[in-house]
Amino acid sequence: MRATTAFNRIIAIHGVAVSGVTFAPEGVVVRIRRRKRSHQCPCGWTTKSHYDRSTRRWRHLDLGLTKCFLEAEICRIECPKCRRVRTEDVPWARPGARHTKDFCAVVAWLAQRVDKTTITKLLRVSWEAVAKIVIDVVGEVLNDDRFEGLARLGVDEVSYRKGHRYLTVVADHDREGRVVWAKAGKSAATLAAFFDELGPQRVAKLEAISLDMGIAFEKAVNEKGPHVRQCVDPFHLIWLANEAINQARRWAWNEERRVLAKRSPGRPKLDEARPHDHARWTKHTRWALLKDPASLSDGQLAVLHELRRNNSLLYRSWQLKEALRDLYRLADPAAAPAHLEWWLRWASRSRIPAFVKLAKTVRKNRERILAAIELNLSNSKLEGLNSKIRLINHRGYGHHSAEAVIAMIYLCCGGLTIELPTSTLA
């Protein structure tokens, strides 16, 4: 068998013939040419003539231990449709790419599964190349089909990098929280851009949208989709309740200190005892108060019982938090409005500042909180999405541009299928 025939089988790109093979210091260089004589513009127009020609190389999948490059002549053509000189399309690589489609498919397939360092070591490519390849592959695979049939959406802001860089992410409640859209920023204008991209016909079919309690997203939905029923995501409310617990802990510490100082003037100075006591206090109460009661350790349960025996303000804070969580655990969802009303009365009279404040916020969002329960948008698929996006950052993909992070979010959370080049082989 001749070398070129053997390499034709190894390279296995349809419509391409191997014309020569050389061994260069950087690896095997396989010279290829297209069997078709005509050149195709990226717009689809074809011609037999060309403007000029040059030789280019693309990195292809490794051959054993050796890197492999495809080398071919590539032409520029004068396209009457685009009214300018453009570089022709080639079947083995995307426009402007330095890697073949097969190589890119392997990178994207791995990026869905492993961390970035693994890919750079395994395939001997740079971090930058991985980021660019993911952007290119996602750009090709992603299409408007994902906008079809949308009815119940969730919107959330995600921080993707230190220094307050945020993305707005839109996910589909009816398709396991699959990401349908993401963009840098977290303002009303950011979310408004999603509605514009969706178009009036698809917006008209939207039924419900779950949001945080901020005003930015609310404003965008009020303007762009006033018919869409707004809900508050349960995990935002529970997060606020946990924040209230943290505030109450700090407040209660100062409060008990003040009471102690009044009662016992003869005791040692409180300031002396403070560093030790404060640390102990913080350590002992934090998880006992924040964790789900069902998963508390014996020690944490003991802390809770101690707080209860002392009739501590913190014990009441904890009761208030758990009572708010009960809103999402009611056997009969129809009882939710009454439960919330009862909770609001209790919290606003609690005289614990953090919970009085929380009660005000809850009252303001009452309709939207109850709508989430009524429409059963309470299964927190979006919360799972948040942890998936954190995982993308942990795997080393979060340090690039917003564009690169968004491409990774589509790749890992958008339900995209990446086929390996070998998947079509027997």
- Minimum distance of Zn ion from residue 88's CB (angstroms): 10
The tokens of 327 are what?
């809103």
CB 413, CB 99: distance < 8 Å: no
The tokens of 314 are what?
């913190």
Q: For Zn ion, which stretch binds (CB under 5 A), given 4-12, 38-46, 129-137, 292-300?
A: 38-46
| Helix, strand or coil, per DSSP, at residue 88 | coil
> How many angstroms separate the CA atoms of 217 and 155, rounded?
8
Pick 43 or 338: Cβ nearer Zn ion:
43
| Helix, strand or coil, per DSSP, at residue 315 | helix
- Minimum distance of Zn ion from residue 43's CB (angstroms): 3
Q: Which residues contact 379 (CB under 8 A, 6 or more apart)?
A: none
> How many angstroms separate the CA atoms of 413 and 154, rounded?
14
Count the site residues for Zn ion by CB under 5 A.
6
> How many angstroms separate the CA atoms of 426 and 321, rounded?
58
The tokens of 108 are what?
């994207």
Of 350-369, which residues contact Zn ion (CB under 5 A)?
none
Q: Which of 11, 16, 18, 41 binds Zn ion (CB under 5 A)?
A: 41
Pick 79 or 327: Cβ nearer Zn ion:
79
| Beta-carbon count within 10 A of 181 CB | 24
Instruction: Read off the DSSP letter of residue 206.
Output: -
DSSP H/E element including 421: none
- Minimum distance of Zn ion from residue 38's CB (angstroms): 13
- Minimum distance of Zn ion from residue 41's CB (angstroms): 3
Pick 82 or 302: Cβ nearer Zn ion:
82
For residue 204, state whether it binds Zn ion (rule: CB under 5 A). Answer: no
Pick 43 or 114: Cβ nearer Zn ion:
43
Pick 19 or 87: Cβ nearer Zn ion:
87
> How many angstroms separate the CA atoms of 247 and 255, rounded?
12
- Minimum distance of Zn ion from residue 87's CB (angstroms): 10
Pick 43 or 260: Cβ nearer Zn ion:
43
Q: For Zn ion, which stretch binds (CB under 5 A), given 45-53, 129-137, 207-215, 292-300?
A: 45-53
Q: x-or-dash pattern for Zn ion, window 69-108, by CB under 5 A? A: ----------x-xx--------------------------
| Helix, strand or coil, per DSSP, at residue 356 | helix
Pick 80 or 199: Cβ nearer Zn ion:
80
Q: Which residues contact 302 (CB under 8 A, 6 or more apart)?
A: none
- Minimum distance of Zn ion from residue 409's CB (angstroms): 32
- Minimum distance of Zn ion from residue 42's CB (angstroms): 6
Contact residues toward Zn ion (CB under 5 A) are 41, 43, 45, 79, 81-82
